[in-house]
């Protein structure tokens, strides 16, 4: 297994439950080597189903935040347009911090940290050859690429590469929001808050412990920042004054979400082609973003986890290993193709010349 994200760890954890040996090779030198990223909502019929297959649903329910499902939409002048709150017993899409999910999945797994894969060569006489950045080589009967958007395993089965969608996110964070920024804490509410303007959006999401992730989203060329007097994204002060200018005229409290941000990270959104498939290659397959990178509309990690759980169940049985992988791939391609279309259309409406499209999409997904 290459990659210790949601796909790889779910695959390994379900296999472990079936008493199958599996080794995860992960590029990061340690579980907490980099910030784990924002909160994830795990859907009842996707991520939660996968956790059920790993025997971890009860632990997830204890850790997750059902109140985090709350969603508020503001107009650019700060008027509240929608203020949706879950019922107390609603467990359809509770939120969990990525770090908590990672630790939950890690449990007893054998993860080799700091093992970056550089290349996978299928069908050698001894099996599938994996080259590591540290110069080592190993062979396996099955190599599963769950190494994310810029997968090093993918070239072994497919020539597809991620393409830029035309939408960039600039991500920042607020800490201890309830004590340090009580006004912003009230603005955000218990879950997420979004504001949609012309070709722009601003989304703030609560994580646990008063941590908030803020995503400024806008249509722009890939190199937009180089046109802003060579804006250095590592210079938080410069970003703090430049990025709010892209949201000119928006209400001051909304822009404060950016002005109070700590560090800033640029995340241009790339996607793989909708309905990405490949001619089956014995001994190698892909899961999660490596197989079907799509816009971040709340399903990528969910699909990655279902992929992991289903592949594990497919290969854990007594049947032929390669047949198990083939059957899984057909199932994954069909599911991912459906979601890739939905999320591509969703991104067009959420970061759109007509902000009413975003509100209409919310009303379709979350009728009050
Ligand atoms: C801003 C944002 C918000 C999102 N919000 C949501 C959400 O709310 N809900 C949701 O379901 N999805 C969400 N997503 C999508 C989600 O993050 C991804 O779909 C999900 O993380 C994919 O999981 P994965 O395991 O396939 O890949 P990843 O999470 O990318 O994990 C890949 C792992 O492989 C490792 N790796 C990479 N290269 C190598 C290598 N060469 N050798 C060894 N290891 C390697 C990486 O270090 C990493 O640990 C969001 C995405 C973004 C960008």
CATH value at residue 169: 3.30.9.30
By the 8 A CB rule, do 68 and 39 touch?
Answer: yes
> Which of the four pLDDT bands, split at 50, 70 and 90, describes residue 225?
confident
* 261 Cβ closer than 6 Å to some ligand 1 atom: no
Could you tell me the CA-to-CA distances from 95 to 63, 88, 90, 271 in Å, in that order? 9, 14, 12, 24
Which contiguous run of DSSP H or E holds residue 240? Answer: helix 236-242
Q: How many Å apart are CA 158 and CA 155, to the nearest integer?
A: 5
Q: Look at residue 124 and tell me if it is in a domain.
A: yes
Could you tell me the CA-to-CA distances from 4 to 35, 168, 311 in Å, in that order? 14, 25, 15
Its domain, for residue 108, covers 6-68+91-162+272-351
Q: Look at residue 80 and tell me if it is in a domain.
A: no
> Which of the four pLDDT bands, split at 50, 70 and 90, describes residue 232?
confident
**pLDDT at position 347 over 90:** yes
Q: How many Å apart are CA 76 and CA 10, to the nearest integer?
A: 40
- Residue 154 and residue 45 share a domain: yes
Domains held by the chain: number: 2
Which contiguous run of DSSP H or E holds residue 336? Answer: helix 321-350
Q: Look at residue 226 and tell me if it is in a domain.
A: yes
Taking residues 93-99, report their average pLDDT: 96
By the 8 A CB rule, do 342 and 335 touch?
Answer: no
Q: Look at residue 81 and tell me if it is in a domain.
A: no
* 6 Cβ closer than 6 Å to some ligand 1 atom: yes
| Stated pTM of the model | 0.96
- Residue 251 and residue 181 share a domain: yes
- Residue 174 and residue 142 share a domain: no
Q: Look at residue 134 and tell me if it is in a domain.
A: yes
Q: Look at residue 126 and tell me if it is in a domain.
A: yes
From the CA of 229, how far away is ligand 1's center (Å)? 32
* 42 Cβ closer than 6 Å to some ligand 1 atom: no
Taking residues 210-216, report their average pLDDT: 97
Query: Ligand 1: which of 1, 4, 5, 214 to mutate, judged by most atoms within 8 Å of the beta carbon?
Result: 5
Q: How many Å apart are CA 305 and CA 299, to the nearest integer?
A: 10
Atom from ligand 1 closest to the CA of residue 95: 8
- At 134-166, the pLDDT tens digits run 999 999 999 999 999 999 999 999 999 999 999
- Residue 215 and residue 345 share a domain: no
Q: Look at residue 177 and tell me if it is in a domain.
A: yes
* 26 Cβ closer than 6 Å to some ligand 1 atom: yes
- Residue 301 and residue 261 share a domain: no
> For residue 142, which phi and psi values (nearest 5 degrees)?
-140, 125
Q: What rounded mean pLDDT belongs to the chain?
A: 95
- Residue 30 and residue 148 share a domain: yes
Q: Look at residue 219 and tell me if it is in a domain.
A: yes
Question: What's the token pair of residue 20?
Answer: 């199958």
- Residue 255 and residue 143 share a domain: no
Question: What's the token pair of residue 150?
Answer: 């810029």
DSSP letters, 245-282, are GGGTTS-HHHHHHHHT--SEEEEEEEEPPTT-----BT
**Last residue within a domain, chosen from 244, 270, 296:** 270
- Residue 266 and residue 286 share a domain: no
Residue environment code for 26-44, b if the CB has 16+ CB neighbours within 10 A, otherwise e: bbbeeeeeeebbbbbbbbe
Domain CATH for 300: 3.50.50.60
């Amino acid at each position: 297994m290459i990659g210790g994200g949601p796909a790889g760890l779910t695959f390994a954890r379900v296999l472990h439950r079936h008493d199958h040996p599996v080794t995860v090779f992960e590029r990061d030198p340690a579980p907490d080597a980099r910030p784990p990223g924002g909160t994830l909502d795990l859907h009842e019929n996707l991520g939660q189903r996968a956790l059920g297959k790993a025997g971890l649903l009860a632990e997830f329910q204890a850790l997750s935040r059902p109140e985090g499902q709350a969603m508020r939409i503001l107009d650019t002048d700060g008027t509240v347009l929608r203020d949706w709150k879950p019922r107390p017993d609603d467990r359809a899409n509770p939120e969990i911090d990525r770090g908590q999910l990672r630790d939950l999945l890690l449990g007893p797994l054998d993860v080799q940290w700091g093992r970056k894969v550089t290349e996978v060569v299928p069908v050698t006489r001894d099996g599938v050859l994996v080259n590591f950045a540290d110069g080592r080589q190993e062979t396996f009967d099955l190599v599963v690429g769950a190494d994310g958007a810029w997968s090093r395993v993918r070239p072994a089965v497919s020539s597809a590469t991620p393409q830029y969608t035309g939408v960039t996110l600039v991500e920042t964070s607020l800490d201890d929001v309830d004590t340090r920024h009580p006004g912003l804490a009230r603005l955000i509410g218990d879950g997420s808050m979004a504001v949609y303007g012309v070709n722009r959006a601003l989304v703030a999401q609560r994580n646990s412990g008063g941590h908030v992730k803020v995503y400024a989203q806008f249509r722009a060329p890939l190199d937009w920042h180089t046109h802003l007097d060579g804006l250095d994204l590592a210079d938080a002060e410069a970003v703090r004054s430049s990025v709010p200018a892209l949201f000119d005229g928006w209400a001051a409290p909304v822009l404060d979400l950016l002005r109070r941000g700590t560090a800033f990270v640029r995340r241009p959104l790339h996607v793989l082609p909708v309905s990405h498939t490949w001619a089956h290659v014995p001994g190698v397959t892909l899961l999660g973003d490596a197989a079907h990178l799509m816009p971040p509309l709340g399903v990528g990690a969910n699909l990655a986890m279902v992929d992991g759980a289903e592949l594990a169940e497919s290969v854990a049985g007594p049947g032929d290993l390669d047949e198990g992988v083939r059957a899984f791939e057909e199932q994954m391609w069909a599911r991912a193709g459906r979601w890739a279309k939905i999320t591509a259309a969703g991104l067009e409406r959420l970061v759109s010349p007509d902000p009413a499209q975003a509100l209409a999409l919310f009303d379709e997904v979350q009728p009050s």
